[in-house]
Every structure is written in structure tokens, then in C-alpha cells.
Amino acid sequence: MRKLDNKTKVELIWIVAVIAILGWAAVSNASYLHTNSVNIANPVGSSPEGVVINVTGYQWAWAFQYPNGTISTDVLYLNNNTTYTLMVSSKDVIHDLYIPQFGVNVYAVNGHPNQITFKPTKAGTYIFECVEYCGEYHYEMRGTVVVT
């Protein structure tokens, strides 16, 4: 058998390393997509799952209305291991509610509510923000999600 020279060895190491990195990326991406695949916003209409929270974006804050009628502003209170459906709408211009921890990203459009379903599985405090530029104080449309 022919002995490999050093150049060929280095090349083989590079090839194996690149395949390993791409393989790892493919597997982690596939598992992320698998766990978040149901997390897609839809127009309101299909029957909502779990606890329904009405979310209203307006210049420049978010209001969350819970089933008992209470409203919180800029803090979203959730219970761990509970399924929620957010009914997201806007009072004025287009906003976009983004909660990266739960894979939630849903447009808030006046007259066209969208819904999204998700389930927090870890207690903690997370962030949310508006990711659609919506005017002068757009940066104020951020807050916390408190999961207990």
C-alpha cells in the first residue's frame, strides 16, 4: 500500500472536520425544527389551543389580556408547562411580537389578528420585543416574559 504524504493527510483531516461540522449543524438544525415545527403563526380562525391571551400592540407598548380579564403591560405572565395561544393584533401600525426563547414571531396587524400557540417548558424570565420598526419610540416596545 502506498504511504500517504503529509499534504494528503492534512487534506483528509480538513475534509473529515468539515463533514463533521456540517453534520453537527444539520442534526442540531433538524432537532430545532422538529421541536418548533408547530410554532407557526396563523390568521385567527382555527380553534385555539390552551389558554388564550389577547395581545395588542400599539405605539409604543404591548398589552396582554388574560382569560380573567386582567391586563398587564410590557410583562407577560405565564405558567410553566401550560399551552398558550396568543391572539395578536394592533391598534395602529404594524408591529411584530418576537419572543426568541419560544420561537414566537408574529405580526400584529390592525384588523387582521394572528394567532400562535406555544408551551413554555422552563421557568425563568425571558425577553420579548417588537421587531417591526413602528415609529419614534419603537425601541420601547420590549419587555419580559415571566414563566413561573
By CB under 5 A, name the one of 53, 86, 130, 145 that touches Cu ion. Answer: 130
**C-alpha closest to that of 51 among 32, 65, 62:** 65
**CA 34, 37, 41: angle at the middle one, nearest 5?**
165
Distance CA 54, CA 62 (A): 10
Q: Which stretch binds Cu ion (CB under 5 A): 22-30, 41-49, 110-118, 139-147?
A: 139-147
Query: Which of 95/102 has CB closer to Cu ion?
Result: 95
Query: Which of 124/135 has CB closer to Cu ion?
Result: 135
**C-alpha closest to that of 61 among 146, 141, 144:** 141
Q: Which stretch binds Cu ion (CB under 5 A): 43-51, 69-77, 80-88, 135-143?
A: 135-143
Residue 141 binds to Cu ion (criterion: CB under 5 A): yes
Residue 134 binds to Cu ion (criterion: CB under 5 A): yes
CB of 115 to Cu ion, least distance (A): 18
Q: How far is CA 31 from CA 34, 37, 77, in A?
A: 5, 10, 28
By CB under 5 A, name the one of 95, 97, 113, 147 that touches Cu ion. Answer: 95
Q: Which three cell numbers stand for residue 69?
A: 380579564
Residues near Cu ion (CB under 5 A) are 95, 130, 134, 141
